[in-house]
Amino acid sequence: MEQQTETLVLKLQPEWPKEPSVLDLKKDFEECQSDHSAYIARLDQWETAFNIKPLPENKDKKAQSRISPKLVRKQYEWRCASLSEPFLATKELFKVKPVTHEDVERAKQNELILNYQFECKINKIPFIDKLIRKCAKEGTAVVRVGWLLEEVEVEKEIPQWSYVSAPEMVEDLNQYAEMMQSEPDTFANMVAPDMQESVRASMQMQQPIRATQTGTRVVKRCSLKLISQHLKYATDVTCMLILPVRVILIKLSLLFTALCLVWLILKLMVDIKT
């Protein structure tokens, strides 16, 4: 029995240098229970103040009023409306600024993608309302981001090139090489494909090279196809943010949208309090 237990412990995380044991994980879980219980107690206190009930009858002081005004709920409803308006009434919520002159076109494209996804791909009205009400009532809201993907195999044509030495193209190659380094977007969109390949081959071989396309070759590659995406809040304040690593690399912009929303909501709440 002892030998079997040791084998199971070793298989928890064998790729880690110092893999945790079941006892270590159980100890960490028990140590965090005090903080978890304290936070849950605060939530229960806030819930009681929100759903305030009439005071119990006091037989000694019969003239005492049992009415409890619902001030917390009144301020809550006023705050939710003011917090939702900036997100639902603004058409272009995201503004992306370039860092250098090379990022101008990319910044415009990313700004269009972010605003398009928030306006068209997300059912923003119920999402914003539920998120703000949850955050204003309990002080914590967890956003869960996810995508449904399908891996498909696609065929793509790749050009085949032949290379010859071309000393007469030195000036042209130097000019296009400078353009490739200073203005990569203009080089990729305006220069002919054979000249682009000539510049790359010349820089790699350190001599003037002329590239001529001799044909194409069909290759098969795996591609990920987006089926659907969802963005919703989690009602359990003790759960963690679920972010598939593989999907983040493909759709990082939607994650950035969710994080910006949470940051803007918290910032607006702080401004209202001050």
For the entire predicted model, the pTM comes to 0.50
Query: Please, which pLDDT band fits residue 250 given cuts at 50, 70 and 90?
Result: very low
pLDDT tens for 6-22 read 444 445 666 777 777 88
More confident residue, 253 or 68: 68
Nearest CA to 81 out of 140, 129, 29 is that of 129
In this structure, what token pair is assigned to residue 28?
């960490």
pLDDT tens for 16-63 read 777 778 888 888 888 888 888 888 888 888 888 888 877 777 767 666
Backbone Cα Rg of the chain? 30
More confident residue, 227 or 197: 197
Q: Say what percent of the chain tops pLDDT 90.
A: 0
Per-residue pLDDT, 262: 67
Q: Are 114 and 96 in contact (CB under 8 A)?
A: yes
Residue 245 has pLDDT above 70, yes or no: no
Residue 4 has pLDDT above 60, yes or no: no
Residue 234 has pLDDT above 60, yes or no: no
Q: SS3 letters for the chain?
A: CHHHHHHHHHCCCCCCCCCCCHHHHHHHHHHCHHHHHHHHHHHHHHHHHHCCCCCCCCCCCCCCCCCCCCHHHHHHHHHHHHHHHHHHHCCCCCCCCCCCHHHHHHHHHHHHHHHHHHHHHCCHHHHHHHHHHHHHHHCCCEEEEEEEEEEEEEEEEEEEEEEEECHHHHHHHHHHHHHHHHCHHHHHHHCCHHHHHHHHHHHHHCCCEEEEEEEEEEEEEEEEEEEEEEEEEECCCCCCCCCCHHHHHHCHHHHHHHHHHHHHHHHHHHHHHC
Per-residue pLDDT, 91: 82
Q: Which of 128-137, 174-183, 217-226 has the lowest average pLDDT?
A: 217-226
Kind of pairing between the strands at 209-234 and 142-165: antiparallel
Mean pLDDT estimate for the chain: 76
